[in-house]
A and B are shown apart, each in its own frame.
Chain A
C-alpha cells in the first residue's frame, strides 16, 4: 500500500506503524460519572467495519507525524489522508 502523505507525498506503508481506529483520538473525560464504562468502550470495543475505516498511522521512518487514513478494509484502497494534528486543531476550535 502507498499512503499519500499530506506533506511528504506518496510513501510506502512499510514506513508507518499502525495503531487502529481513529476514534482512539477521542479519549473520554475521566471526570465524567460513568468514566469507567466510557474507558472500557474506548479501550476495548471496536466498530471494525468492512468498508471505509478511519485509522491512525504513525510515520515512524519519516517525519514522525500521526496521520488519519481513510481506507477501505475490503479492498485496501486509500481514499483520504489527513494530519491527525489538523483534525485535532479543527476539533478543539469547534469546541
Chain B
C-alpha cells in the first residue's frame, strides 16, 4: 500500500476502513540468509537497504521487545553532520543526504524538518575551533556557516548574550541540520523492509550463537535455533552482552544518557541550539515541548534511568544560555543506554568469527547516523567489503593506533 494524498482522501470519505497493519508479524523460519539482531533504527534500516538496494530479502530482524522500543524512540531526534575528522565527516554527511531524501525514498512521513542547528561559542579560542570544524565540514561537502554575535542575535534574540561567565560570542550553524520524528523512522524502515519480504520478528530474544570452528552458523533465540549464513549484531547499548555470547570483549562501556521534555509551549526556538561551555542541547518539538539533554551520567549503567546530579547539570546549562527556560516545567525525564566506545566513534565491521558482523559503539550519536549506518552495514553484509565512507569504523583500530577521537580525550568513554 502506497501512501499518497489521493489515498488519504479516498480513505477519508469511505470511513477509514481499509488501513491495514504496515508490517506482518511472522513466525521465524528455520533458516535465513542474513539474521539481523536488534530491531532498532540501525537494524531496521540495514534490513531496508539490504532488501531495497542490494536485492537481498531472505533476511530476518530479531527484536527482543517491540520495534522502536529502544534508543530509536528514546533520543532527542537531532540530525546533523557537523563532525570534523576525515574518518567521520563523510559518513555523517552521507547520512544527512539520505535523511534529505528519506521520506520520498520509503514513502513514509518521518516529519523530517531541516530547521537548522546552531552551536554557540563563548570565547575567541572556541570561535577559532569552530571555524576549523566548519571548514572541515565544507571540505566533506557539508554546509557550515560561522555566525558572529549579531548573526546569532538575528536568529535567537532571546539568548543570554551578556551572561557574566559565558557570554555568547557567535556560533557555528548548519542549516541543513534539524529534527525528525524518531519512531516514524523505525516504522518507515520496518514497513519498507517488510514490503520486500524481510521478516520482522518481535518479542524474540537472542540467547547465544552457534559457532563451529570459528564460523557462525546461526543464533539461539527464545523461539528456538535460527540458522543463518550471516549474523549481524546491531544492538548498541547491549553490544557487550550480545557479543559476549560469542566470547568477545569489546572496546565499549555501556552508559546511561538522560533526556528531558518540558510542557508544551508556544513556538520559540527556531531550531536546535547547543551550549558551547557546558553540555546542553535543546530543540522544540512540533507539539511545543522543549526537548533537551546533556551529558551522560558518567558511570557504567544498563538501568535506563539516571540520577539527579546530571539533571541539575543539564538544567544549569539551559539556564546559562536561555534563562527563560527556568519558567517552563518538566514533563518527562527518561534514560537510554549507550555503547560508549574508547574513542567516541562507532564500529561497522566484520569480526574474527566468520559470518558474524558487528555494528555498535554509537556513543550518543546513533540516531543521526541511522540511514548511513544501515546503508554501510548492508553494503558490508552484501559485499563483504566496507562501504567507502565507513572504512575507518574498524574493530581493530585501537591495536594499530587509528583511533577516530573527535574530542581527543583518549580511552576514557565517559568523557566522549
Interface residues of A (CB under 8 A from B): 1, 12-14, 18-21, 40-41, 43-50, 53, 55, 71, 73-76
| Chain A residues within an 8 Å CB radius of B303 | 73-76
Q: Could you tell me the dominant secondary structure of chain A's interface residues?
A: mixed
Residue from B250, B298, B398, B414 within 8 A of A48 (CB atoms): B250
Q: Is B15 an interface residue (CB 8 A)?
A: no
If the complex has contacts A20-B413, A20-B414, are A44 and B300 also in contact, measured as CB distance less than 8 A?
no
Is the beta-carbon distance between A73 and B240 smaller than 8 angstroms?
A: no
If the complex has contacts A18-B414, A20-B413, A40-B398, are A48 and B300 also in contact, measured as CB distance less than 8 A?
yes
| Chain B residues within an 8 Å CB radius of A18 | 298-299, 414
Is the beta-carbon distance between A40 and B399 smaller than 8 angstroms?
A: yes
Residue from B249, B298, B300, B342 within 8 A of A73 (CB atoms): B300
7 residue pairs bridging A and B, Cβ less than 8 Å apart: A1-B307, A20-B412, A21-B300, A43-B342, A46-B252, A50-B254, A73-B301
Residue from A46, A75, A76 within 8 A of B253 (CB atoms): A46
What are the 8 tightest A-B residue pairs by CB atom distance, in nearest-first order? A48-B240, A44-B398, A14-B309, A45-B249, A50-B302, A44-B251, A18-B299, A74-B302
Q: Is B411 an interface residue (CB 8 A)?
A: yes
Q: Is B241 an interface residue (CB 8 A)?
A: yes
Residue from A14, A20, A43, A75 within 8 A of B300 (CB atoms): A20
Is the beta-carbon distance between A46 and B249 smaller than 8 angstroms?
A: yes
Cα distance A48–B242 in the bound complex, in angstroms: 11
Cα distance A40–B413 in the bound complex, in angstroms: 15
Residue from B250, B307, B309 within 8 A of A76 (CB atoms): B307
| Chain A residues within an 8 Å CB radius of B412 | 19-20
Is the beta-carbon distance between B299 and A46 smaller than 8 angstroms?
A: no
Within the complex, what minimum Cβ distance (angstroms) separates B414 from chain A?
Answer: 6
Within the complex, what minimum Cβ distance (angstroms) separates B213 from chain A?
Answer: 23
Cα distance A74–B342 in the bound complex, in angstroms: 21
| Chain A residues within an 8 Å CB radius of B413 | 20
| Chain A residues within an 8 Å CB radius of B252 | 46, 48
| Chain B residues within an 8 Å CB radius of A44 | 251, 342, 398, 411
The residue of chain B having its C-beta at the shortest distance from the C-beta of A48 within the complex is: B240
Cα distance A70–B240 in the bound complex, in angstroms: 19
Cα distance A74–B300 in the bound complex, in angstroms: 9
